[in-house]
Amino acid sequence: MKLMVLGSGQDGGVPHTGCYCSACIRARRHKRRRRLAPSVALCNDKAGSCYLIDASPDFKFQMDMIWNHIPHVKRVGKIPVSSILLTHAHYGHITGLLELGKEVLNEIGIPVFCTPAMGQFLSASPPFSHLVEGGNIEIREIRPGVKTELGGISVTPTQVPHRNETADTVGYIIEATRRVIYIPDIDRWTDETLEEISRSDTAIIDGTFYSAAELPGYRDVPHPPIKETVELLEGASTEIYFTHINHTNAINRRGRERRTIERLGFKIAYDGLTLDI
Ligand SMILES: [Zn+2]
Ligand SMILES: [Zn+2]
Ligand SMILES: [Zn+2]
């Protein structure tokens, strides 16, 4: 069983539209410095089936990553993905669903697993509601704390605090040979989430900002800064990767900040990172 990080960037990715900071300039010049919008694939490489967590605006490139890197993957409709699981309703996590509609793929009945609140949001809000009405996607409700089996992998959504303007937000606990937790977006760490991270073999977690000082509008879009997260999780036996990395984050360059967290044993996700799970 494999987990592939298809996008290690924050919703707007790196480079960020309209930004010419050094990380964005470097990412425009060198493809390997780019970070696509957040998404991961869970692939049963024996059965050839893949499940996607979040459908990002970089969906088309991420489908190519699956075709190119997972051998013998099965086509389901026109994509290499059997179903899609959603974390929450922000731009970088759901707009790729629109590729499944009439304007692009016109898929039939792709299962979309999400919480009841997310399901209601999608069913009631155009243009996503057109996908439900047109039968391109089928909403399958899953509840936080309740396990769902998906061809050799079990997934359990876990509720996390985040800006929930339209629905709610979950991370996922993924159990195959290893126990992995994926939380791309959270406003602050809670005792429950820290406990879940410590209980997991691998954690791929919100590393949007290195420091709360790097973005003037930080208060409107809070995420736990890496600087503080490493203090909370130092000494955990879990293998920890930071993902959902913003273009402003100092760990985009090889400098003091990156060296500091790597010395402490933390890792930084990148697009194409593939883990045996
Ligand atoms: Zn996000
Ligand atoms: Zn930038
Ligand atoms: Zn978000």
Q: What is the pLDDT of residues 158-171, one digit of tens each?
A: 999 999 989 999 99
DSSP bridge partners of 156: 173
Give the integer Cα–Cα distance in Å for 30 and 268.
18
The pLDDT, as a whole number, for residue 218 is 81
- By the 8 A CB rule, do 271 and 35 touch? yes
State in Å: Cα 48 to ligand 3 middle.
30
Give the integer Cα–Cα distance in Å for 238 and 220.
30
The pLDDT, as a whole number, for residue 54 is 98
Give the integer Cα–Cα distance in Å for 26 and 33.
7
The pLDDT, as a whole number, for residue 216 is 84
Query: Around Cβ 173, how many Cβ atoms within 10 Å?
Result: 21
Q: Please tell me the CATH code under which domain 2-276 is placed.
A: 3.60.15.10
Angle at Cα 153 formed by Cα 13 and Cα 97, nearest 5°? 40
Give the integer Cα–Cα distance in Å for 277 and 104.
33
State in Å: Cα 46 to ligand 1 middle.
31
State in Å: Cα 97 to ligand 2 middle.
26
CA distances in angstroms from 221 to 10, 65, 131, 165, 216, listed in the order given = 12, 30, 29, 12, 10
State in Å: Cα 220 to ligand 2 middle.
18
Q: Is the pLDDT of residue 217 over 90?
A: no
For 230-243, the DSSP string reads HHHHTT-SSEEEEE
State in Å: Cα 71 to ligand 3 middle.
32
Per-position b or e across 83-117, b if 16+ CB within 10 A of its CB: bbbbbbbbebbbbbbbbbbeeebebeebbbbbbeb
Residue ranges per structural domain of the chain: 2-276
At 191, the pLDDT band (50, 70, 90 cuts) reads very high
First-to-last C-alpha distance (Å) of the chain: 5
Q: Considering the chain, what percentage of its residues have pLDDT values greater than 90?
A: 90
Query: What's the mean pLDDT in 108-130?
Result: 98
Q: Considering the chain, what percentage of its residues have pLDDT values greater than 70?
A: 100
State in Å: Cα 93 to ligand 1 middle.
6
Pick from 246, 183, 258: nearest CA to 209: 246
State in Å: Cα 89 to ligand 3 middle.
7
State in Å: Cα 12 to ligand 2 middle.
10
pLDDT digits (tens, 9 = 90+) for 223-244: 999 999 999 999 899 999 999 9
Give the integer Cα–Cα distance in Å for 274 and 45.
12
